[in-house]
């Protein structure tokens, strides 16, 4: 990785969170900032690569959604990319909110 470039891991994480925030309902965690962390070109390139590469990882899903890219990327995002990061983010937000209700005035990590 070059110092001036984002890692693939960070780009895919931003993609999955931005996709979820823009297109999924119900929202597990509305990360409306994620779309600012990834350019439209990066978003589109990741989406295209995910669609093109799904047959390598899951031939059945590739066949099931053949010709329906919108539903295919939805499946990839909802099943493969988003569940863990969204659950982690939603959990952390809920814990933080609860701590604020209990009187916490500062958050640090």
Q: Is the dihedral of CA 2, 8, 12, 15 positive or negative?
A: positive
CA dist 10 and 79 (Å) reads: 18
Closest Cα partner for 52 from 62, 64, 44, 42? 62
CA dist 2 and 25 (Å) reads: 36
**Please, which pLDDT band fits residue 80 given cuts at 50, 70 and 90?**
very high
CA dist 92 and 106 (Å) reads: 15
CA dist 88 and 74 (Å) reads: 20
pLDDT tens digits along 37-77:
999 999 999 999 999 999 999 999 999 999 999 999 999 99
């Amino acid at each position: 990785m070059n110092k001036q470039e984002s890692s693939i891991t960070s780009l895919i994480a931003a993609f999955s969170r931005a996709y979820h925030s823009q297109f999924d309902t119900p929202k597990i965690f509305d990360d409306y900032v994620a779309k600012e962390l990834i350019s439209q070109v990066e978003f589109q390139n990741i989406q295209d690569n995910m669609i093109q590469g799904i047959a390598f990882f899951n031939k059945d899903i590739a066949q099931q959604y053949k010709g329906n890219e919108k539903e295919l990327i939805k499946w990839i995002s909802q099943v493969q990319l988003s569940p863990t990061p969204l659950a982690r983010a939603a959990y952390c937000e809920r814990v933080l909110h609860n701590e604020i209700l209990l009187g916490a005035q500062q958050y640090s990590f």
